[in-house]
Amino acid sequence: MAGSSSAIVRILEEAGSIAHFTGRFFRQAMHRRFAWDELLRQCLVNGYRSLALVGITAFIMGLVLTVQTRPTLARFGAETMIPGMVAISMVREIVPVITALICAGKIGSSMGAELASMRVTEQIDAMEVSGTNPFRYLVVTRVWSTTLMLPILVVLADVIAIGASWVGVNMRATMSWPLFLHNVLDSLAYSDLVPAFIKTYFFGLVVGVVGCYAGWHAARGTAGVGGAAHKAVVVGSLLVFIIDLIAVQITDLLGFN
């Protein structure tokens, strides 16, 4: 009993600490001495260099979902509904969540390990004593980059997944691209697109914040570096699901479902 209550206290302390770290990000986020060069570099590292992994994953997801959906719909003679159904599933839920999880794994862990390593080798201290605010230079730019890049990655992944779905449809039947696209666009409404797009900004924010938080507060020593990467992935992924749950409740309350 005492063990479980102390675990709850630890979780609440960690949650409070992450919330405080997020507040610090927002306070520094628009500072006049913004490191634009570092933001661009981080956007390149976290956005452009994640494109291949996100793209391949999106292609596989689109193809697999289409192929697996076909037998069920074929039983009801509703194969023409495949494009619309796959598109809605992909755009509303699967692509944003899977892309965010990939980013939590790839970007979050790399941020956690990099900042933890800089902390362990006193590089963050060196930056601080040279009169450069390391939080602003390292954390603010990284969190902004994931917040801005993740929605773009999701949009690109949506397009790739829908393209892969067309490939999947044409593996067993024939459907022209214009007809396929017409079916997709016909079934997608703004109420599918807008909430799904908005939540990706929160996914990006949480991936960046948790990755940086884990590295910034890493324990000293090499074990701290591994621990930071691990924490960035585990906590980041968990928070992605929690945000998704909250987003679904909000869109439901607002009548978007």
**CB-nearer residue toward other proteins: 131 or 178:** 131
Query: Which residues inside 125-164 make contact with other proteins, applying CB under 8 A?
Result: 125-133, 137
What token pair was written down for 2? 């005492």
Q: Residue holding tokens 């906590």? A: 235
Alpha carbons 101 and 196: distance in angstroms, whole number: 15
**Which residue in the set 23, 64, 122, 254 belongs to the binding site for other proteins (CB under 8 A)?**
122
**Cβ at position 101, least distance to other proteins in Å:** 26
Q: C-alpha distances in angstroms, 252 versus 100, 151, 191, 195, 256?
A: 21, 21, 11, 10, 6
Report d(CA 177, CA 160) in Å as an integer. Answer: 14
Q: Exactly one of 68, 72, 121, 222 binds other proteins (CB under 8 A); which one?
A: 121
254 membership: H or E segment, kind and range? none
C-beta closer to other proteins: residue 37 or 186 = 37
- Asked if 222 is part of the footprint of other proteins (rule: CB under 8 A), the reply reads no
Q: How far is the CB of 106 from other proteins (least distance, A)?
A: 17
Closest CB to other proteins among residues 69, 110:
110
Q: Nearer Cβ to other proteins, position 122 or 186?
A: 122
Q: Using CB under 8 A, which residues numbered 80 to 119 contact other proteins? A: 117-118
Q: How far is CA 105 from CA 118, 193, 205, 231, in A?
A: 20, 25, 14, 10
Residue 177 sits at φ, ψ, to 5 deg, of -60, -45
Q: How far is the CB of 224 from other proteins (least distance, A)?
A: 15
Between CA 91 and CA 187 the distance in angstroms is: 11
In the complex, minimum distance from the CB of residue 118 to other proteins, in angstroms, rounded to a whole number: 8
Q: Which residues lie near other proteins (CB under 8 A)?
A: 35, 37, 117-118, 121-123, 125-133, 137
